[in-house]
Amino acid sequence: MVRKWEGVIGRHKSVVSCGCICLAFIVIAMFLFAAPGAAQQKGGEAKILKIGGLICLTGWFSSMDLQMGNELILLQDMINEKGGIDIKGQKYKIEVVIEDCKSTLDGVTAAATSLASKGIKFTVGPAAFFASASAPITTRNKMIDVLGYNILSPEQIGPNQPYAFAGLGGAGARTLSGIKLMKTKFPQVKNLCMVSPAGGINKPLEAFLRQNLAAAGYNIVGEWVIFPDDASEWSSFAAKINANKQADAVFWLNCITFHVGNMLKSLREIGYDKWVFAWSNAPCADVMKITGPDAAQKLVTQAFTPGSKENPPELEALMKRSQAKYGANVPLYFETACPLGILVDMIQKAQSTDPVVVKKKWESMDGQTVSSLFGPAIISGTKTYHIKGHGLSHAHPNQILDKGVVTDAGWAEAGPLP
């Protein structure tokens, strides 16, 4: 009886041994064939990273910002076509979620609050002078906000807004680049009549302008002319500029196309024949649509010229894509697209979608050069913003409008911000 059970047990052991061997082969096969599948699942199917876009779809600034919203989506598509973001083997496609800022500070606050309520941790924009309304919201919610423009206000970038970063050179870089162009192409100009929209000037920016213009050998003379952001009457402001007989030219920072076109038209109608330096992205061809050819005289703006040999390649590609979709005469701005490109690059460098980690990485790159749509950009501006690693500076394009003809005036470097 014992031997009988021994036989059964022996046969059972053989079966178990064979089963174990087969199981071992199955486990090995699962490891060999399933492991690559797991890696593919991790890196093959992209997750979605939502990025907020603070864009004025309505109100006075929508004349410029609507197209900047279109440019955001175009760059989103270009980034995704190139593979998106890769973080430790996990692919991410970006999805821009646009909220309407309504061209008011209250509208910006509401838009930023809406993005925060949706759990979005990264935003780009707003442009113009509106970041003073978005930065407190994004900072409170630890959302990185990469600004489409800034006017050196501590409410926009500074020690109290540690999650706000410049994604475009802003007023500081525009000033330094403009000075460089004036010195090179207009050496006869020495005395300047200053012009600003009410929302585009503040004490830190005025101090920056006075200091850097004086250091470059320029004199600010006469009354500083300030007009409403949404002005509809221009003759009184043109008269003030014309009354400044000491000035050789107008130095005008922070303006958009409808500002420039209407002011230039009013100036020429009263016989003002001096150069107007409007340091903003106002395409000269669009300005001339407002002024007409007779008043389209002696204007310089920081606008793009498609096909310019100095255009950075990625920017030129985005211009072509914009023209292909929206027409050859579409205005080109990229003031919010540029921040999107830099933000994506920083997330990639940080290898994280945690805003705290990205912030730390960004701040560690103070003084370094990064790629941008505008070409090499220098993370700088500690003295200017009183916070390390949050400012940005880069070259700007330029156009000249004179005698009804638009010409490419090339790119002018800004150098690092102080």
Looking at residue 213, which CATH number applies to its domain?
A: 3.40.50.2300
pLDDT on residue 128? 84
Q: Kindly state whether residue 366 falls inside one of the protein's structural domains.
A: yes
pLDDT on residue 44? 62
| pLDDT above 50: residue 321 | yes
The predicted-structure confidence for 74-107, as pLDDT tens digits, reads as follows 999 999 999 999 999 999 999 999 999 999 999 9
Same domain for 279 and 408? yes
Q: Kindly state whether residue 6 falls inside one of the protein's structural domains.
A: no
Q: State the CB neighbour count (10 A cutoff) for residue 166.
A: 30
Q: Which residues span the domain enclosing 282?
A: 172-308+400-412
How many percent of the chain have pLDDT more than 70? 89
Question: Could you tell me the CA-to-CA distances from 404 to 105, 185, 270, 296 in Å, in that order?
Answer: 37, 19, 18, 5
The SS3 assignment for 76 reads helix
Q: Taking the alpha carbons of 374, 204, 213, 196 in that order, is the dihedral positive or negative? A: positive
- Name the DSSP class of 121: -
pLDDT on residue 27? 34
**Upper half-sphere CA count for residue 35 (Cβ side, 13 Å):** 5
Q: Tell me what the mean pLDDT of segment 332-338 comes to.
A: 96
Q: Of how many residues is the chain composed?
A: 418
| pLDDT above 60: residue 277 | yes
CA 310 to chain centre: 19
How many percent of the chain have pLDDT more than 90? 89
Same domain for 235 and 217? yes
| Residues 64 and 333: beta-carbon distance below 8 Å | yes
Q: Tell me what the mean pLDDT of segment 253-263 comes to.
A: 96
| pLDDT above 80: residue 226 | yes
Contact partners, residue 233, CB within 8 Å, separation at least 6 = none
User: In the structure, what pLDDT confidence band is assigned to residue 2 with cuts at 50, 70 and 90?
Assistant: very low
Same domain for 406 and 262? yes
Same domain for 130 and 245? no
User: The tokens of 36 are what?
Assistant: 């690559």
- Name the DSSP class of 294: G
Same domain for 336 and 269? no
Q: Which of 8, 360, 73, 60 is nearest to 231 (CA)?
A: 60
Q: Kindly state whether residue 139 falls inside one of the protein's structural domains.
A: yes
Q: Tell me what the mean pLDDT of segment 283-293 comes to.
A: 97
